[in-house]
Amino acid sequence: MGSLTFHGHSCFELEGGGSRLIVDPFLTGNPLADISPTDITSLDVVLLTHGHADHLGDGIEIAKAHDATVVAPFELAQYCETKGCTVHPMHIGGAHRFPWGTVKMVVAFHGGGVAGDDTGQYTTFPCGYVLTLDGTRVYHAGDTALTLEMQLLAGQVDVMLVPIGDNFTMGVTDAARAVEFVQPKVVIPMHWNTFDIIAVDPAEFTNAVGNAADVVILEPGQRHDL
């Protein structure tokens, strides 16, 4: 059985298919992170939803330290490659089967700037991911607004990781509607309380979702079995 562990903000560590993955490893500078980059002992894959500093985070350094492959939208993957990473570029709508599972890159509505790219040549589309690990389908929505495209995932997701902090992404009301669109079995909120501007009470999200899905509130360091 696989598992996912929340490390604060939008960072999740997943285990499954005999491999260990991390998504959006914003650890250094994250006031809620329960670990530092040096606490990671092994890693196979780094998945990046976009290049903002609170998502790209420590991704390049972690990938290089563990010889892990960076999976990212094409231009962001190119940028990581210039920094010495092994990369697997993808783009919206594409899927790829890896030895440990399957990745499908899906739409997210957000900004596409890449932290550290002073030229602007690596600006890209942000994304979300649907990861299939040991038969469980996990949808990491990334930083996004509510989108009608989410309805295309209805019935295809077991666990949904959804931002609820508002201001930069969906807030509670739109995130609850996104759950109605996707119809996951379990939903876990993310991108909340890291900074004052995205501070919300997750109980409001639980109430808004109602019976549409099982809501699991994770604090940094807590694990959910898939």
What 8-state DSSP symbol labels residue 212?
S
**In the chain, where the domains are located:** 3-218
Q: Which of 129, 41, 114 is nearest to 81 (CA)?
A: 114
CA distance 156 to 174: 20
Query: What is the model's pTM?
Result: 0.97
Q: What is the dihedral of CA 129, 138, 188, 196, to 10 degrees?
A: -20
Q: Which CATH architecture has domain 3-218?
A: 4-Layer Sandwich (3.60)
Beta strand residue intervals within the chain, DSSP E: 3-6, 12-16, 19-23, 45-47, 69-73, 86-90, 95-98, 101-107, 127-133, 136-140, 159-163, 186-190, 214-215, 223-225
b (16+ CB within 10 A) / e for 133-149 = beebbbbbbbbbebbeb
Residues of the chain under the 70 pLDDT cut: none
Beta bridge partners of 107: 127
DSSP 3-state assignment of 210?
A: coil
b (16+ CB within 10 A) / e for 92-106 = beeeeebebbebbbb
